Structure 1
Amino acid sequence: MTSFRYYQLFLVSIFCVLTFITYSINRADIDKHSEEVLAQYTASIAAKSIWQGDGKDLYQDLDQQFSFQFFQYIDSNDSDNSYTKGQLLFKNNDITSNFFDVDIPYTQSLTNGRLQVKLSIGNTFLEIVEQFKLQLMLIWGTFLFISLFTLLLTSRQTKKIQYGAKLIEELPSFTFHSIQKSKLKGEFKPLAAAIESCQHNLKAEIDKLNESNEKLSRAAFQDPITGFGTRAKFTEKLNDICSPNSQQFGVLAMVKATELGAINQLHGREAGDDYLTRIANHIRKSLVKSPNAYCYRISTADFALILPDVTLKDGTSIIEQVKNAFDDYQQSLGTDSVAYIGLCPYLQDSDPVSLMTLADTAVSIAQTLGPNSVHVLQKLTGDELFGDSRWKVAIDDIVKRKAIKFYAQPIRPCRNDVESYRELLSRFYNDQGKFLPTATVIAMAERHGMSEELDKLVILKTLSMLNETPSMSGLFGINISASSANQENFVAWLKNVLGRQRHLAARLVFEVNESGMQTNLSATYHFINEAHSVGARVSIERFGLGFTSFKFFKDVRPDFIKLDGSYTQGINSDSHNQFFVKMIIDIARKLTIRVIATGVENQEEKLAMEHLLMDGLQGYYIAKPTPLLTVSNSEKPQLVL
C-alpha cells in the first residue's frame, strides 16, 4: 500500500502539472486577446481625442466596436454631458471564470473631459472558460480511471502478499502448510519456492536445535565471573513480574559498582574481575536468609537484585545488610566506596521501562549521598517519564527558564550568643508548573555534568531575591554541589559575582556535602578561602560520614558543620553516639566552628542535643520547610561567628 500511495502521489503531481500547463495556455490566449482588444481600442480612441459632445453618444459610437465592462465619460465643462455605464469590479458566480481575471483598464483625456474604461473580450472569454472546463474534465477523468485501475491491481497483489506473509509468520511456530501455488503464481513463483525451501530446512534443523538447547542456555544465561544470571535472564524475569496476569510484588534493587574502571586502570582486569567477584559474594552472603532472591549482572558494572514477596520495609532491611557488607569490604579495598544501591518496589501491572527508570534514578541519587549509600524511591510519581537521556534536556530547560522556587527551613540556635541562618531549599518545576523531585534533578545534573549551571542559577536567583527584597533579613544557606566547589572556573566566577555585591555576600552561607569535599582537600581549602575573601561563609553538611572528617578541623576551617542526621537518631539512648558528638563539639568550639544537628524529629532528640551544647538544631520537629514568602521576616537568626 505504501507503493500505491507513492504512485498516487506521483499521478497527482503529473496531472497537477498538466492542469497547470492547460491553464497557462488558456491564460495566454486570454492575455493575447486582451492585448489585441486594447490595441484596437487605443487606435480608435485616438481619433476621438477632440470629442466635445455628449458622453452617451460617445458610448454608443464606441460600443459598436468594443465590449465594455465599465464606461465613464466626465465632461469638464458641462456635467450633463457626463455618462457612466457598467461596474468597475467584475462579478461572476462561475468559479472557473474566477481563475481568469481579465482586467483591461484605459484612461484617455479628451478635449473637454476624461474617459475611463475597462474593456471586455466578451464571448471570447466565455469560449476559453468553457474550453478549459472540458480540458479539466478530460484530465481528471483520465486520472480517476487510472487510479481505479491501479487500485484494483494493487488489491490483487495485496491478497497474494498477505497469503505469503501468513505462511512466513507461521514458520516460527513450526506450523507448515502445503503451499497453494495458484495463489502465488506469476511474479510470485520465486516467493513460493523460497517459502517451501525454508519449511524443508527448518524441519531438518529442529532436532539439532533441541539437542543443543540446554547446553547453550547454560552458557548464555550465566555470567562467568559472578555466577549471577545475565541481562537476558533478568529481562525475562522482569517481564514476568510485570506481566498483566502476574500477582507478584516485591522489591527491585540496582547495584552500581563504581570503582571497576579505576581498579582496572590501576591494577589490571584480573583485579577488576576479583572486585566484581567479591561484590557478588558479599551480596550472596547478605541474602542467605532470602533464598527466593534473584541476582543478575546486567552490564559491566551493574547488578540487579529481585526480592519477591517482600515489602519495601523488609527489603530495605535486607539491602542494608548488603550495604554493611560493602562498608566492611571498603576497609580492605582502600577505595572511597565499593558500590551504590537504588531501591524501589514493584507491584502487579508495573511497567518494565518505568520500573527500570525508577531504579536507575534511585541508584543515581545514591551516588550523591556518600560512600556505599542506599536510596529508596517508593512509588512512581511521574519522574520515570524523564529517562536518563531526557534529563539533560529537562535540566537545560530549567536553567533557560530559571524555573526555580525557594522553600526555607530555619535553624534554631541553642544559645543567645549564637547566630544561625535559614537554609534555602531549591524546588525546580517543569514547563507545566509541576515540581520535579529535587534530589533527582541534582543527581541527574551531576550525571550529565550540568551541576555548575544549576548551582549558578541558584546563586544568581538568591542574589536577585535578596537585592529586590530589602525587608528580607538574616543569613541564608545555599546548597551547591561539591563538584562545582572543586572547579577553579566556578570558584573564580563565584568570587567575581560576590565581589561586586559584598553586602549580599555577607548574608550567604554555602552548604557543601562533606563526602564530595573530601575528594580534593586542596580544592576545598581554595573554595572556602575564596568565599571568606568576599565575606561569605561555608557550611559542611552531612558531616561525620567519612573517615577523614577531622581534616576539616585542621585544614579547611569551615564556618559551620552540619552533622549527618544519623547522629541525631536515637542519640538520647546511645551513649557511644553521645560521646562522639560531644567530642566533635569540643574540638569545633576551640576553632570557633559552629556545629548544627540535623534530622531532629522529636523532643527527646532535641533535649539530648541541647544537653550536649549544640550550637543549632534543624529538623521537622524544629520547623518544616515552607515557601520562602511565608517565612516571617521577624524570624531573624541571632548570631554569627
Structure 2
Amino acid sequence: MKKTYRLGLFLGLASWLAVGLLLALLAVIRTGQQLDSDAQRVADGLTGQLYRQQSDDPAAAQSLLQRWDLAWLEVRDTQKNTWLAGGQGVAAPAWFKGLYAAATQPQHLTTSHALFNYQLNFAPQRQALLQDLGMIAALWLLGSLLLLLSHRQVLGRLSQQLQRQLAQLLDQNEVVEGPLPSVTDGLHQYQQQWQQRLDELQRATENLARQASSDPLTSLYNRECFRRDLTEILQTEDQGQSHYLVMVRASSLQTVNELRGHAVGDKYLQDVANQLSRSLRPLADSQAYRLSGSDFAMLIRKNSSQLPNLLGRELKQAFDGKQLEYELESVAFTGITLFRPGQSPEEVIARADLALARAQTGESNGSYYQEGSDVEFLQGESHWKRVIMEVIEHKSLVLMRQPIQSLSIANHNYHEIFARFIGREQQSLPTETLLAMAQRHDLLVKVEQLIIETIVQKYPSYASPGQRWGINLSSSALTSNAFLVWLERLLLRDVTLAASFVFEVEEDLLDRNLAASRRLFELMRRAGSRSSISKFGKGLASFRLYRELKPDFVKLDPSLLQNLEQESTNQQFIRMIVELSHRMGCVVVAEGVEKLSEKQLLENMYVDAIQGYLVAKPAPLTDPVTAPHLDVLGASGGR
C-alpha cells in the first residue's frame, strides 16, 4: 500500500513540476518576443535620429543613449571618422545571452552618411523575466507543499485504519473487514506468514538454547547449566529445604579408550549417561549433567532421606551389569551429599568430591553418602593421599598381563604388564583415579617405583624363558632425575634380567620432553633393555622421534585403527610407518585390535604384531594365557 501511495505522490509532484516548467518556458518565450520588438523599434528610431543629427558632440551621443535605452553607441562616417561614442548600463549576463543569443548580439546599421554600432540595454527585460520566474517557482513550491500535505493526510488516515486492523489481528487473532478488501486480504496472508515465521523462530531458538546447554555426546546438560542450576537452588529463600548433589565418575574411560578405541569409549560414556537419566525419571524436578570427560552430576530437589541408599544401590546394580558387559574392573562410582540453600557452591561441590573419593576407595561401583558440611575444600584429595600412601606402604597391588600376538616369525614372546591397586578392605581401587591423584600429590614416581620393583620381583617366577615384559612409564618418571638414577641402578644389578624388559612411553610425552627422552633411551640401551613408543603415529612429527630416539618397538595409536577398512588415508599412513620402521630395524605393533578383519588387513600391511581383545584380554599374572594359537612376538633382533 505504501508503494502505491508513494507512486501517486511522485506522479503528482512530477505533473506539478511539468506545469511549472511550462509556465517558465512561456515566460522565456514572451521575454524573447519583447526583446525582438524592442530591438526593431530602437533600430528604426535610432536610424532616423542619427540621419538628422550629424555631429561629433558627445552630448548628442549621451542623449541618444538615454532616449533609446542603449548600453553603448558608436557612430562613424563613411571614412571611419567617429561622430559619436558613448555608453551606459550593464552588459547582459551569460545566462541571459544564452537564452537570447540573437537579440543580445551587438547591432550594426548603415546609412548613406554614417555607420554605427550599438548594444541594447536589457536590464528591464532581464528584471521582468527574473520576477516572472520567481513567481512561477513560488507557485510551484506552494502547490507541491499542498500536494504533500494532502497525500500525508490521506496516508495518515489509512495508516491509522490499518493499525486498528493490525491491533485487532494481534489481540483477537482475526482481521476485521476494512474499507479496502485487498488490504484486508493482504493482512490475512500476513497473519499466516507472521505466525509461521514466529513458530520457526521459536523452534530455532529452542534448538539453539538446547545445543548451547547440552553435551553433544550424551545429550545431558553441560557444566555451565550445572553451575547455574546449583547456584539458583542455593540462592532460594527456603533455607530449611534440603536437596541432593550426586557426583558420578566413569572410572575406566582411559582404559576403554586405550584398549578398545574411542568409539567404544564414547558408547561407554553414553551407557553411563543413559543410566543416570533412567534413575532420575521417578524423581520430580531433577536433572543430570556431564561435567567433564568422565565426570557426571545429578541435582535432586526436595526428596526424602531414603534417597541416598536407594539411589546408590540402584546405580551399583546397573553399573555391575555394565562391568560384566565391558569386562572392566569397575564402571562408575557415586558420591552423594546433602545441601541446603545458603551454602556456597564450592562447599557443596567439595563435600560431593569427598563422597566420591571415599566411594572410589570402597567396593567396586559403590557409592558413599557424605551428609556433614564441616569439611575442608580439598578434603577429598587429602583422603586420596592417605589411600595412596597406604598402597605404597603395604605394596597393595596386583599385576595384570596382556599378550601380544606375532604376525611373523619371532624368537621371544612379549606381554604388556599392568598394575591394579587394592584398598584396605581388599577392594579394587580405580587405577586411573589413583594415578591421577598420585601425580597431583607428587607421589606418582613412588607408585611407579613400587610397580617396577614388583615386576622385577615377580619376573623370575611368572615369566616363561625368553619372555619380554612391557612396562609403562609416565611423564613424572621421564622428567625425574632421581627416578632415572634409581632405575639405572636397578637394571644394572642384573643385566640379563634387564634385557627382558621393554619400557613403553607415550609419543606425546616423549615429544614434549625430548632431552629427557634421549637420556632415558640411552639409559635403556646401556642397561640392555628395549624401548617402545606407544600411541605412535599422531602426525608427521612422529618421524622425528625415529631419528632422535631409535626405538626398538613402536605401538600404533589406536585411533589409526578406527574404521580402518574404510579409511584409506590411515591405511597409507600405517604402510608408511611400517616401511620406515622396518628400514630402521624397528618392530611395529598395532594396539586395540578387536576384529578379525582388522587383523587380516594389518597382516597384509606387514604389521609385525597385534594387541587387543581379539588376541587376549588383560588377566592376572597368576592366570594362564587363554588366547589360542599365539605365535608370540620377538624383539627386533630376532626378525
* Shorter-chain TM-score range: 0.3 to 0.5
TM-score (norm 2): 0.44
- 1 or 2 for the larger relative contact order (CA 8 Å, sep ≥6)? 2
Point out the structure with max Rg over C-alpha. Answer: 2
TM-score (norm 1): 0.44
